[in-house]
Structures are given as C-alpha cells and as structure tokens.
Amino acid sequence: MRSHIRTLLVSVLALAVSLVFGTLVLAQNDPLSSWNDGPTKEAVVAFVQQVTDRSSPQFVPPAERIATFDNDGTLWPSHPMYTQLAFALDRIKALAPKHPEWKTKQPFKAVLDNDLKALAAAGEKGMVELVMASHAGMSTAQFEAIVTDWLEKARHPRFKRRYTELAYQPMLEILAYLRENGFKTYIVSGGGVEFMRPMTEQVYGIPPEQVVGSTIETKYEVKDGQPVLMRLPKIDFIDDKAGKPVGINKFIGRRPIAAFGNSAGDRQMLEWTGAGSGSRLMMLVFHDDAEREYAYGPANGLPDTHFGTFPQALMDEAKKKGWVVISMKNDWKRIFSDK
C-alpha cells in the first residue's frame, strides 16, 4: 500500500511537473503571450506568416519588411499628458531661477503656478514657446544628458515609476516578434527625435537611426576647438498627421508594410502604409481601459482628449479600410511588464 501511494504520488508529481513545464514551454513558444486569443492577435500572426512565407504570393523580401510605430499612446502612455510635455514643464521649473521674468510672463507663469487652465489657454503658440525655452540653447550632447538624467529621476504621476518602465508589454512583444521575422522596426512619432533617442534602444530595442520624429534646427559650430551641434529655438519639422508620410519618405525612403498608431495623428501614416500593394497590417491601439490605464474618446462614449485624440471618424475609417483596432481592455492580458 505504501509503495502504491508512493507510485501514485510520483505519478501525480510527474504529471504536475509535465503540466507546469508544458505550460512554460507553451508560453515561451508564444511570442505574443500577453495577448488574449482572438481576431486581433490572429491578425498579427496571419500577416507575419503571409509576408514571410516564401511560397506565398504575399511574400515580402526581408529588406522591405518595414514596420513603423507611433510612440505616445502606442508604445507608452500619453496620459495624463505627453511625457515630453511633462519633461518641458519640469525643465521650465528647473530653469526658472535664471529667468525671473517668467514669474509674470505667460505661458511660463502658468507652468510655475501649476495653472493648467492658463496653460491650456496659451494654446499651440504657448506650447511652442515652452518647448523652445526648454529644448533649445544647448548642444545636442548637453540635451542628451539632460533628457537621460530626467528619464532617470522623473516618475509618472499615477503609476509612480519611471516613464521608461511603462512601455506596453504587448507592444514590446509585437516589436520583438516582427524583428524575429526579419522586420526593421521604426518609431515614427510627433515627439522630438532627440527626446526619444536616449531611451529607445533600451526600452524598445530600436536604435537611434530608426527613430523618426519632430526636429528643431541645429547649427554646426566650433567652440574652443571642439565641433558641437547647437540646438536652435526654431522648429525644423513636425512629424505628425500629414507630416508622418513625409517623415517616413524623408528618413526611411521605403513605404512601410505595417504601421501602428493610436490617434488621429497617425491617420495619414496608416493610409500611406495601406496604399501600397500586397499584404499590409494597420493597427490602432484604442484606450478603453480606465482601470489598468486610461479610457477616453467618443468611441467609448467618453470625452475626447488632447493627448492622443481618437475621433469617431477615425474609428469609421478603420472599419472601412480593415485597420485592426486593438482594445487594451479586451485584447491585452497585461498592460505593463508586470500587470
């Protein structure tokens, strides 16, 4: 009897081990393990299989497998405000002691008073003034050091952790899955190129030369015998909306076969991607998960947002053109790496 029990115990243990091990292997084998099963996940897998299958009429040579990703709201949160705006506001506060005139001058006064209403009233012109005051007037090397330091110290107001720890886990899995299948992954963001480059390799596995974004003008100067690139208070290029296909053409020179966005700012990038021939994948991250992240926009029956607007017209175009809308709430098992 004892030996019988022992045999039974061993069998149960063996079964348990094999189940646990089997599940682990399964999880390891699933490159999209943070995605719930369903049509959204299937769309990604089907597309990748099509374009990588040499016997498929939809086969695409590796060199042409370009995938472009918006950043804010697509790869990491854009709420309660764009991360770069949070950086700009922190910089204005840090620089304020050297600018006593800001105490009475808008939009700087609004920043120093934490007066979001006055800040909103300053509009786009005000935003440009804040960006110029916080992003220009130093060398590119100095700016990189400032951004790196800020990313290390700043914390997201709700999630209480570094912004660089808030990349969406399911999107990190798509990035890795595409690269494993011969894709070159690019960021194509309205954000500043030099604000993103210090972190994209570490956070997304995307090297600096694959980051397309907005730029300010820089000027080559020789200072004390050393060449530097100085950042000027002048906008060079805005990589948003109709600027995204322009940026893609200018920096990459190939049309993507896959594009990922989350707002009206990504519409033209998805249109441009979809207008090429052959198999294409266009996806929009839809923020409908107030509990784990954020929910907004008319398609949720909620007010829209300034930080990643998703109008009903975008939802309509997505449906009409076969763009896949990702429900954060329903399609994602987890939002971040650990929850």
- Helices 193-204, 140-153: inter-axial angle, 10-degree rounding: 50
Q: Which tokens belong to 126?
A: 């005000």
| Minimum distance of its own copies from residue 331's CB (angstroms) | 28
- Least separation in angstroms between residue 87's CB and its own copies is 18
Of 66 and 110, the one with the shorter C-beta distance to its own copies is: 66
- Considering beta carbons, is residue 91 or 184 the nearer one to its own copies? 184
What are the start-end ranges of the E strands in 193-265?
A: 211-223, 226-237, 258-261
Q: How far is the CB of 104 from its own copies (least distance, A)?
A: 36
Residue found under tokens 């990038």? 269
Nearer to its own copies, 27 or 220 (CB): 220
**What are the φ/ψ torsions at residue 262 (nearest 5 degrees)?**
-155, 5
Site residues, its own copies (CB under 8 A):
63, 66, 140, 184, 193-194, 197, 207-209, 211, 215, 218-220, 222, 226-227, 229, 236, 242-243, 245-246, 249-254, 268, 271-272, 275
Closest separation in Å from C-beta 95 to its own copies: 23
Decide if 287 contacts 293 (C-beta within 8 A): yes
Closest contact distance (angstroms) between CB of 54 and its own copies is: 21
> Which residues does residue 221 pair with via DSSP β-bridges, in sequence order?
228
Residues 304, 313 contacting (CB under 8 angstroms): no
Distance in angstroms (rounded) separating the CA atoms of residues 109 and 222? 35
Which two structure tokens, joined as six digits, stand for 65?
Answer: 């497998």
Which residue in 278, 218, 231, 265 sits closest to 64, CA to CA?
Answer: 278
Q: What is the DSSP string of 90-143?
A: HHHHHHGGG-GGGGTSTTHHHHHTT-HHHHHHTHHHHHHHHHHHHHSSSBHHHH
Establish whether the linkage from the previous residue to 77 is cis, with ω within 30° of 0: no
User: Measured from the CB of residue 92, what is the shortest distance to its own copies in angstroms?
Assistant: 25
CB of 70 to its own copies, least distance (A): 16
Of 224 and 291, the one with the shorter C-beta distance to its own copies is: 224
The nearer residue to its own copies, 60 or 66, going by C-beta atoms, is 66
Q: Which one, 170 or 213, has the nearer CB to its own copies? A: 213
Nearer to its own copies (CB atom), residue 113 or residue 201 = 201
